Structures are given as C-alpha cells and as structure tokens.
Amino acid sequence: MSLLQLNLSPDLLRLREAPYNVSIKAGYLVVRGIPYVNSAKAVCKGVLVSALELAGDRTAPPQDHTIMFSGEFPCHSDGTAMEMLRHQSVTRILDKGLEVHHAFSRKPLKGRYADYYEKVETYISLISREAADIDPSATALTRKVVEPEDEEYPFAYFDTASARAEINIVANKLATDKIAIIGLGGTGSYVLDLVAKTPVKEIHLFDADQFSTHNAFRAPGAATVEELRELPLKVVYFKSRYSKMNRRITAHEADISCSNVDLLSGMTFVFLCIDRGSDKKIIVEKLEEYAIPFIDVGMGLYRSGDSLGGKLRVTTSLPGRRDSAREAIPLSGDDIHNEYDKNIQIADLNSLNACLAVLRWKKLRGFYMDSEREQLTTYTIDFNLLMSEDKA
C-alpha cells in the first residue's frame, strides 16, 4: 500500500512526470538535483524540500509558500546572492539524511500556490535559470524516478504533524522501541491511543478479555453498537481500530502468565496496565530478569458523599533502579478487589493516567526534557497535587 498515492495527487504526478527527481521522505516533498549557482559562480546541485499539506493519502493545497533548500545559498549567474529568495539560513536536520540549510520565501501575488507543482516549479525555475545562464545543459529534469514507497514506515499515511513541526528527529528517538501493552482496559487502551501515534518499531497488545459495553465508556474513540454486539476480544477490537493508522500492531489474544511470559523477552519497553497483583508478580519478576524497563500504572478512586476522589499512580522500573518500584507496585492478591471492588474508573482519569505513563516513557527516551528523573508519579484529585518521588 502506498502511503501517498501519486495518482491521487495530480500535482505530485505532474512533478514526477516532468520528470523531476521527486521523493517523499518523512512526510516532506523532496526534489533533488536542482542546479544552482554558488558565490564562486560554479554550478552545483541542491535539494528543495517542502512540508506537505495532506488530506489523508493525497495532497491538499499548500498553506505555506516557503520552501527549504539543502545546499549553499543560491546566487545569480554573476555570483551575487539571490536576495529575493532570502527567508532564513539555519541548518536543520529534518530527518535522518535530510539536512536543510536555507529557507526561501517567494509569495505569489495571489497569496498562495495553487498546488505543489506550481510551488516547486516556481522555485526551480528561479534558481535554475541562473545556472542555465552559465551552463545551458543544467536542468533539474532527470531520468531517475524515485518510488515514494517506504515499507519501513510505521504509519498508514505520513506523519505530517511531526514534519510540520520539524520534530522528526525528536520523534525518531522512539523509533527503535518494541512496546508491549499488557492489559487493554481503560488505561491500557489510552496508552495504545498515544503510542500508536509514535513511530515505534512494534506494538504488542496482550489481553484475553472481551470488549464489553462498559469498556466503551472508558476507552478512546467511540464504538458502534454493532461492534459491541459482537463482543470482540479487546486486542482484536483495538488492533482493528488503530491499524487504520499504525501498521506495526500485533494482537496477542492472551493474558500474560507464567506459561507465556517469555513473549516479553524481545520487548524494549512494557506498559503494565492490569489490576490483579498475582498476575503482576510474575511479570515484574521476569521483566527484571530480562532487564526490560517498564511502567506500572494504577488508580484508586473512592466515593465521598456525592463526589469522587482518589489518585493516579505511575511507577517506573528501570534496570539497576528496581527497588523503589518494587515497593510501590501493589502485588497483593485478589482479596483487595473483593473488598473494595466497586471498580470505579472514569475515562478522563484512565486517559490522564495513560498520558502520565506515556510522557514518562518519552522522557526516558530523551523525547522530552527530564531533569527530575522521578520513578513515582502520583496525581491526587481532591487537592490537585502532582507529585514526583524517587528522583535520581
């Protein structure tokens, strides 16, 4: 499946049939082999890079008239800089192997370019005609046609959010992770919602339960009554939901127990989102043995009069720093459930618990700043207290 079907985007198709050396990389439109003149009046080749505005798998009209360039600052044929292009000259790494040095700004009189063909063609002709003055054979046209297909890409369509924000390099810090989400209840399903939007290598879902009506009220998105009637397994339901966007999800129709805990041995990070302490114990022991970092989440809510109170907990366990997590993760048996099991859970709290857990993982990966390096986070509803503990 092509992420960006060129035949659905007439402007990209036209660029390619020109033919320019067009490719799509990390959500950017990249046109290579653009002849330009440098300050020494030599003809060189540069690369034009444009952020892409997409409507799913096809282009939308460009919102931004600027374009990025990899190479020296282009000059007129007499070696003077093309000042009318100048916008910014800052070296930025947009993605692995995609470095740009300048941004140009040529706003059309009508305000916006109609499509990417018009935008790219405008910049190419401005820059390359100076090169052609020196070397009449210099042209951006090429015989080489580059496939935009990228089987390694995790998403079903391009992550233009990271491309627009120019944070692909930051997002790529997550790209090598193989993630397991154990338990697809309220919090686990929200963890999936967030992790599915990152470029991780693999996402493995573990849960043997069915997705019931009450689950629909503490899960992201909206289930249809037809879906609920079928009582799908949670992992099947969520895989089908999120595979629309993320191509790296594997559903395991099982809980983790001593008979299959070895399935976790290849993971690089685990989100533990299950209730029963007895099941948790074996998982915690094995993850420690496998030297896999993990996060355990949990909430406890109570009713006080006609309002609810309680707190959320996120516990981080890292190789070499296991002790405080061992103390904080409740591993008691099932008795505690029988005693208090009104099982109050609310979607916004499941969501917040998942957000705090995913934030913590991203901090560990250097995606976010992390000066506290806390291993325990709690959020108390009543007095709105967010606490970090066990700081390294």
Nearest by Cα to 158 from 43, 3, 336: 3
Does 278 bind another protein (CB under 8 A)? Our answer is: no
Nearest by Cα to 389 from 316, 329, 331, 281: 316
Single out the residue of 227, 275, 285, 370 in contact with another protein (rule: CB under 8 A). Answer: 275
Single out the residue of 203, 312, 352, 358 in contact with another protein (rule: CB under 8 A). Answer: 312
Single out the residue of 301, 318, 355, 359 in contact with another protein (rule: CB under 8 A). Answer: 301
Does 273 bind another protein (CB under 8 A)? Our answer is: yes
Single out the residue of 31, 51, 297, 364 in contact with another protein (rule: CB under 8 A). Answer: 297
Question: Smallest distance, Å, CB 161 to another protein?
Answer: 28
Query: The dihedral of CA 372, 377, 379, 380: what is its sign?
Result: negative
Query: The dihedral of CA 330, 334, 335, 341: what is its sign?
Result: positive
Question: Smallest distance, Å, CB 272 to another protein?
Answer: 8
Query: For residue 120, how many C-alpha atoms fall within 13 Å in the half-sphere facing its CB?
Result: 31
Question: Smallest distance, Å, CB 285 to another protein?
Answer: 17
Strand arrangement, sheet containing 28-37: 21-25, 28-37, 43-51, 66-70, 102-105, 86-88
Instruction: Count residues binding another protein (CB under 8 A).
Output: 48
Single out the residue of 88, 217, 340, 392 in contact with another protein (rule: CB under 8 A). Answer: 340
Phi/psi of residue 238, nearest 5 degrees = -70, -35
Does 336 bind another protein (CB under 8 A)? Our answer is: yes
The two three-digit tokens of residue 316, written as one number: 């981080």
Does 381 bind another protein (CB under 8 A)? Our answer is: yes
Does 330 bind another protein (CB under 8 A)? Our answer is: yes
Does 372 bind another protein (CB under 8 A)? Our answer is: no
Does 282 bind another protein (CB under 8 A)? Our answer is: no
Does 380 bind another protein (CB under 8 A)? Our answer is: yes
Single out the residue of 244, 337, 372, 391 in contact with another protein (rule: CB under 8 A). Answer: 337
| Pattern 172-211, another protein, x by CB under 8 A | -----------x-xxxx-----------------------
Question: Smallest distance, Å, CB 105 to another protein?
Answer: 50
CB 239 within 8 A of CB 149: no
Does 345 bind another protein (CB under 8 A)? Our answer is: yes
Which stretch, 10-18, 134-142, 239-247, 306-314, contacts another protein (CB under 8 A)?
Answer: 306-314
Which stretch, 3-11, 168-176, 329-337, 363-371, contacts another protein (CB under 8 A)?
Answer: 329-337
C-alpha span between 104 and 85 (Å, rounded): 5
Interface residues with another protein (CB under 8 A)?
A: 183, 185-188, 273-275, 277, 297-302, 304-305, 307, 309-313, 327-328, 330-332, 335-340, 343-345, 350, 353, 376, 378, 380-383, 385, 387, 389
